[in-house]
Amino acid sequence: APVKVTKVLCIGAGYVGGPTCAVIALKCPHITVTIVDLNQARIDAWNSPDFKLPIYEPGLEDVVRQCRGRNLFFSTDVEKGIQEAELIFVSVNTPTKKSGVGAGFAADLNYVELATRQIAAVATTSKIVVEKSTVPCRTAESMRTILEANSKPGCHFDILSNPEFLAEGTAINDLFKPDRVLIGSLQTEEGKDACAALAAIYANWVPEAQILTVGLCAFSSVNALSAICEATGANIDEVAHAVGYDSRVGPKFLKASVGFGGSCFQKDILNLVYLSESLHLPEVAAYWRQVVEMNEYQKRRFSKRVVDTLFNTITGKRIAVLGFAFKADTGDTRESAAITLIRDFQSERAFVNIYDPQVVEEQIWLDLDEASPAVPLENIKKQVKICKSALEACRDAEAVVIATEWKEFKEIDWSEVYSTMKKPAFVFDGRLLVDAEKLREIGFRGHHHRPPCSLMKIR
Ligand code: UDX
Ligand code: ADP
């Protein structure tokens, strides 16, 4: 029979583990939730007396204020956490590999493997281990192999896959009202019991009809094609059924933009390329590779448009970039389109003023430094200025680029902005956020006299 879980551990206090397990704590007051991380500074921030949390997510602070110290705890003591828990979420990072086999494409599973090995080494009682990171097909299998090969007598591990569907910026809402929760397990007695134990946790707030339980390999391929399903033995009907539950499959996700970003999409697609190649499906690999290339093209085309429109040169000109996060309502900058645009402007020797409501200054310098490895940071700092407001960023600029769809950019007094800029003043709305007609009436010029289809985003 399924165990009744009373102690949950989450390994990895990041964008996935943090919000997910904080919401579990809120919705399940009878469960003690501990979130551990190796990074002391991150844990300190989660524990900070004034709730200066390490990640920004609307509604998160409120959840943490309600639960922290009650049934939600943050710690760096990973071993103690493992020993005490009955169910362990593994939500460590799985970035795209930077070197070695599959570099640039394959997900780096090193962190998942290390966390798994640590569970095996430390556990003295049976555990349900839930793989939460977006990782390639069959990772759960590797986790099982590691755990089984290293377990002590009387210590049994059940491995579940429970992929995350929350989007950054709306994580809390997505967690409160998920379109569906997917849980994959082995179709054995123990596997099904473990699955039921996790389903019972979600059932505290998610209607049972939306909690879908499937065979382990099925949803690892949720975003892939039927060819991949065939090659991996997944059931395409289960995959299609699960995908159909996402309310975003429809108009919510067809907004044109300067390009997509975020830690997941690029990584998942590159990983799909790698997976397709390993499965000897070159046409499928080429298809997904093209999606990433299209996104790069989209960003290149945008910076070229800016240069072309500003009379073919931006050297010595000042450009205001509004928004640095990869999308609105997050402070996360991973794979943000803004980074590529600013690097392009820098290499044209323009001056760039940046304003973002959430991203902290050090993060911007880190990202710009990494984007131009050949340029010393002090030189970048001579060209780039970080500003405290949109108005400050736009002052004396020749052009404004909207790189992130922050709502506050919609509400800017654009006439005032216009009055402080060099003339002719240009605006390039990479998110089709502001009313182009209104801007034109104020006097702005830009690309909006061209058909908006030139900005269509591929997804
Ligand atoms: C994504 C998936 O949506 C989520 O299901 C998964 O669990 C993790 O990865 P996230 O990376 O937070 O979530 O962001 P998402 O909202 O999907 O946006 C990704 C990028 O695409 C952003 O840069 C966003 O601005 C861009 N985008 C999104 C568009 O340009 N147009 C759209 O219509 C939607
Ligand atoms: P994601 O967006 O997938 O949540 P993040 O990078 O935001 O990724 O979070 C992952 C977290 O996992 C990081 O804070 C990292 O320090 C932590 N982490 C990685 N490996 C381990 C490990 N073996 N034990 C504990 N924490 C880990």
* Residues 308 and 396 occupy one common structural domain: yes
* Residues 237 and 305 occupy one common structural domain: no
For ligand 1, residues with CB inside 6 Å are: 164-168, 253-255, 257, 260-262, 264-265, 326-327, 457
- Give yes or no for a cis peptide into 424 (omega within 30° of 0): yes
In a domain, 270, yes or no: no
What is the extent of the structural domain holding 219? Answer: 7-250
Query: Which atom, in ligand 1's list, is nearest to the CA of 405?
Result: 25
* Residues 174 and 109 occupy one common structural domain: yes
Task: Annotate 286-339 with DSSP letters as a single string.
Answer: HHHHHHHHHHHHHHHHHHHHHHHHTTT--TT-EEEEE--SSSTT----TT-HHH
Among 196, 221, 250, the domain boundary falls at: 250
> Ligand 1 pocket test: which of 20, 60, 265 has the largest number of ligand atoms within 8 Å of its C-beta?
265
In a domain, 152, yes or no: yes
Q: Is 39 in the pocket of ligand 2 (CB under 6 A)?
A: yes
Q: What is the pLDDT of residue 242?
A: 63
* Residues 78 and 211 occupy one common structural domain: yes
Q: What is the pLDDT of residue 182?
A: 84
What is the enclosing helix (H) or strand (E) of 419?
A: helix 414-420
Among 250, 279, 312, the domain boundary falls at: 250
Task: Indicate the annotated binding residues for NAD(+).
Answer: 12-17, 37, 42, 92-96, 133-134, 168, 264-267, 334
* Residues 313 and 172 occupy one common structural domain: no
* Residues 214 and 313 occupy one common structural domain: no
Distance from the alpha carbon of residue 242 to the mean position of ligand 2, in angstroms: 27
Q: What is the pLDDT of residue 240?
A: 66
Query: CA 192 to CA 160: how far, in whole Å?
Result: 10
Tell me the pLDDT of the chain (459 aa) as tens digits: 888 999 999 999 999 999 999 999 999 999 999 999 999 999 999 999 999 999 999 999 999 999 999 999 999 999 999 999 999 999 998 776 777 777 776 667 788 889 999 999 999 999 999 998 666 556 777 888 889 888 888 899 999 988 887 888 999 999 999 988 888 888 889 999 999 999 999 999 999 988 988 765 444 434 445 556 666 666 666 666 666 666 655 545 556 677 777 877 788 788 778 878 877 888 778 878 888 888 888 899 899 989 988 888 999 999 999 999 999 999 999 999 999 999 999 999 999 999 999 999 999 999 999 999 999 999 999 999 999 999 999 999 999 999 999 999 999 999 999 999 999 999 999 998 999 889 999 999 876 444 333 333 333
CATH number, domain of 63, equals 3.40.50.720
In a domain, 275, yes or no: no
* Residues 354 and 430 occupy one common structural domain: yes
Task: Using alpha carbons, list the distances in angstroms from residue 115 to 143, 183, 220, 361.
Answer: 10, 20, 20, 31
Task: Please give the DSSP secondary-structure letter assigned to residue 221.
Answer: G
Q: How many domains does the chain have?
A: 2
Which amino acid, residue 392? E
Q: Give the residue ranges of DSSP H helices in 203-257.
A: 226-232, 236-244
Closest C-alpha to 20, from 227, 205, 239: 205
Residue nearest to atom 11 of ligand 1 (CA): 262
Distance from the alpha carbon of residue 308 to the mean position of ligand 2, in angstroms: 42
* Residues 238 and 306 occupy one common structural domain: no
- Tally of CA atoms within 13 A in the half-sphere of 425 that contains its CB: 22
What are the respective helix, strand and coil percentages of the chain, to the nearest 5? 45, 15, 40
Contact 232, 217 (CB under 8 A): yes
Query: CA 259 to CA 338: how far, in whole Å?
Result: 9
Question: Does ipTM come in above 0.85?
Answer: no
Write out the catalytic residue numbers.
Answer: 264
Q: Is 111 in the pocket of ligand 2 (CB under 6 A)?
A: yes
Strand partners, 318: 351
Give the contacts of 41 (CB within 8 A, at least 6 positions apart): 54
* Residues 396 and 333 occupy one common structural domain: yes
Among 216, 250, 284, the domain boundary falls at: 250
Task: Annotate 269-280 with DSSP letters as a single string.
Answer: HHHHHHHHHHTT
Query: Which atom, in ligand 2's list, is nearest to the CA of 111?
Result: 20
Strand partners, 399: 319, 426
Q: In what order do the strands lie in the sheet with 351-355?
A: 384-386, 351-355, 318-322, 399-402, 426-429, 445-446
Residue nearest to atom 34 of ligand 1 (CA): 253
Query: Which atom, in ligand 1's list, is nearest to the CA of 336?
Result: 23
Q: What is the pLDDT of residue 193?
A: 94
